[in-house]
Homo-oligomer: A and B are copies of this chain.
Amino acid sequence: MSSRQILDPLFSTGQMAEVFSDRLRIQRMLDFEAALARAIVRAGIAPAKVSEAIQAGCLVEQYSLEVLGSEAPLAGNLAIPLVKALTTFVAKKDPKAAGFVHWGATSQDVIDTGLVLQLREALDLFGADLARLADTLAAMAKKHASVAMAGRTWLQQAPPVTLGLKIAGWLDAIERHRARLRELRPRVVVLQFGGAVGTLAALGEHGPKVARALAEELHLELPVIPWHAHRDRLAEVAAALGLLTGTLGKIARDISLLMQTEVGEVFEPGAPGRGGSSTMPHKRNPVGSASILAAAIRVPALVSVMLAAMVEEHERGLGGWQAEWATLPEICLLAHGGLARAAEIAGGLEADTTRMAANLKISHGMILAESVVFALAERVGRLEALGIVEGACREAAAKNRDLAAVLAEDSRVSQVLSREELAARLDPNRYLGAASEWIEGVLSARKESSK
């Protein structure tokens, strides 16, 4: 078989691909076995030299991944051939110690806890990269706080926003994701150790003591009860990353729409060859956004797999547990790939403020119609104001004229609004409402929460 990782650089990151590589999957399982050996020594179950002998066999390089993989189907999981291989390895040097390999544990203990160790590394990567993205967005929101651009609803131009406001919205969501990941971490970074069915019966009265020692060895929290048959801890990671990917997708959607030839307000950072076309020399494609959007299409479905897989049978799932093995890593890979791309795009985002200003004018002032409605409303009531402005909009559109000019000719308008007042009302830079206040609010809240 030939590998399937040629698409990794497009949709993931080298760091996350490493965390969830076959190599580290096995190494983390071996880390569990090594720690278990130390724990049973600490508990007085095995003599000290047992842990040394076992630890000596706990390096992934000592095993053939291909052989382990090929033996998995017969066993039904990777732990059985790995424990067998480890036992054989240890037995060569210390047959007695070999008898203590995997003592009291079951396959699911080593597979689940190995995964938890991988997830801890993954969460660290997410934490650091989210912090970095948030810092970048905060700086950008500040920088572009007063840059007016067309708001757009239903893909139609609407009253103006600022680029800073748009970015502050992104940032606000990213901060919520950081909070979520902080909140779930103590539920996830926990030991799974229950033996065959969760009672640790094989350890006799030593069970809880060994469990405590094992958790300490791995720097994991010890839960009040083994959780092998309850997968909400893992599915919650999936769900939180699904939420994050949704926000990343929203950012990518915004950027790629703004980058359209006909809009041209914002661009992914340029680089030689970046986003080029195999046939069209003039093109600069939003390749980063496309990667993120692909993740945003794929991850929701993968989250649903993790949720569906929760319906496990009794003390060990039949299908559900196995469905998680490739799915949760894939979610981490895609979400982190999206995050890295978003950080890269945000870090080098080019804004064409001239084009923004130009686009604010293409509707002949009509996106400011609301502004005039409310100005008139104070004098003539909102419903009549609405009628006046709607009529003017229709005429402006029909005759391709500026709304200002049409309105100025309407005596119902000119009686209450001077030409200057009207112009002011139709100036996008004066119709930004609480935009800067909201931005300030988002920036302050971050400072608050990071205290």
Q: Which 5 A-B pairs have the closest CB atoms?
A: A293-B319, A246-B310, A151-B197, A2-B21, A201-B433
Selecting from A121-129, A166-174, A409-417, the interface stretch reads A166-174
Point out the residue from B8, B256, B302, B369 that lies within 8 Å of A1, measured CB to CB: B8
**Which residues of chain B are within 8 angstroms of A398 by Cβ–Cβ distance?**
none
Is B4 within 8 A of A329, CB to CB? yes
Check if A146 is an interface residue, CB within 8 A of chain B.
no
**Which residues of chain B are within 8 angstroms of A271 by Cβ–Cβ distance?**
74
Check if A215 is an interface residue, CB within 8 A of chain B.
no
**Apart from A172-B224, A176-B233, 7 more pairs, CB < 8 Å:** A2-B22, A150-B261, A151-B199, A154-B275, A160-B199, A201-B371, A297-B323
Is A285 within 8 A of B235, CB to CB? no
Check if A418 is an interface residue, CB within 8 A of chain B.
no
CA distance A148 to B437 in the complex (A): 46
Main secondary structure, interface of A, reads helix
CA distance A288 to B76 in the complex (A): 8
Question: How many chain-A residues does the 8 Å CB contact rule pick out?
Answer: 205
Residue of A179, A197, A211 most packed against chain B (CB within 10 A): A197
**Which residues of chain B are within 8 angstroms of A158 by Cβ–Cβ distance?**
196-197, 277, 280, 283, 315-316
Point out the residue from B276, B300, B310 that lies within 8 Å of A247, measured CB to CB: B310
Check if A301 is an interface residue, CB within 8 A of chain B.
yes
Selecting from A102-110, A112-120, A132-140, the interface stretch reads A102-110
Q: How close is A169's CB to chain B, nearest CB, in angstroms?
A: 6
For A26, give the chain B residue with the smallest CB separation. B6
**Which residues of chain B are within 8 angstroms of A25 by Cβ–Cβ distance?**
6
Check if A32 is an interface residue, CB within 8 A of chain B.
no
Check if A217 is an interface residue, CB within 8 A of chain B.
no
Point out the residue from B276, B279, B311, B393 that lies within 8 Å of A293, measured CB to CB: B311
Point out the residue from B168, B285, B389 that lies within 8 Å of A154, measured CB to CB: B285
Q: How close is A423's CB to chain B, nearest CB, in angstroms?
A: 16
CA distance A179 to B3 in the complex (A): 32
Residue of A223, A301, A311, A367 most packed against chain B (CB within 10 A): A311
Check if A62 is an interface residue, CB within 8 A of chain B.
no
**Which residues of chain B are within 8 angstroms of A83 by Cβ–Cβ distance?**
278
Check if A451 is an interface residue, CB within 8 A of chain B.
no
**Which residues of chain B are within 8 angstroms of A155 by Cβ–Cβ distance?**
256-257, 259-261, 286, 313-314, 318
- Per-residue CB proximity of A179-212 to B under 8 Å, as 1/0? 1100100010000000111111111100110010
- On whether A208 and B11 interact (CB within 8 A), knowing A313-B257, A363-B282, the answer reads no
**Which residues of chain B are within 8 angstroms of A374 by Cβ–Cβ distance?**
104, 202-204
Copies of chain A in the complex: 4
Q: How close is A270's CB to chain B, nearest CB, in angstroms?
A: 11
**Which residues of chain B are within 8 angstroms of A69 by Cβ–Cβ distance?**
5-10
Check if A157 is an interface residue, CB within 8 A of chain B.
yes
Check if A96 is an interface residue, CB within 8 A of chain B.
yes
Is A1 within 8 A of B6, CB to CB? no
Q: How close is A207's CB to chain B, nearest CB, in angstroms?
A: 4
Is A151 within 8 A of B196, CB to CB? yes
Is A294 within 8 A of B322, CB to CB? yes
Is B161 within 8 A of A434, CB to CB? no
Check if A100 is an interface residue, CB within 8 A of chain B.
yes
Check if A397 is an interface residue, CB within 8 A of chain B.
yes
Residue of A8, A17, A235 most packed against chain B (CB within 10 A): A8
11 A-B residue pairs with CB within 8 Å: A2-B21, A2-B24, A10-B76, A11-B326, A153-B197, A153-B315, A177-B232, A249-B310, A282-B403, A298-B305, A298-B326
Is B314 within 8 A of A303, CB to CB? no
**Which residues of chain B are within 8 angstroms of A246 by Cβ–Cβ distance?**
231-232, 235, 307-311
CA distance A229 to B154 in the complex (A): 11
Is A275 within 8 A of B20, CB to CB? no
Check if A359 is an interface residue, CB within 8 A of chain B.
yes
CA distance A261 to B180 in the complex (A): 37
Check if A327 is an interface residue, CB within 8 A of chain B.
yes
CA distance A363 to B265 in the complex (A): 15
**Which residues of chain B are within 8 angstroms of A131 by Cβ–Cβ distance?**
none
Is B225 within 8 A of A75, CB to CB? no
Is B293 within 8 A of A80, CB to CB? no
- On whether A224 and B438 interact (CB within 8 A), knowing A75-B287, A243-B235, A281-B369, the answer reads yes
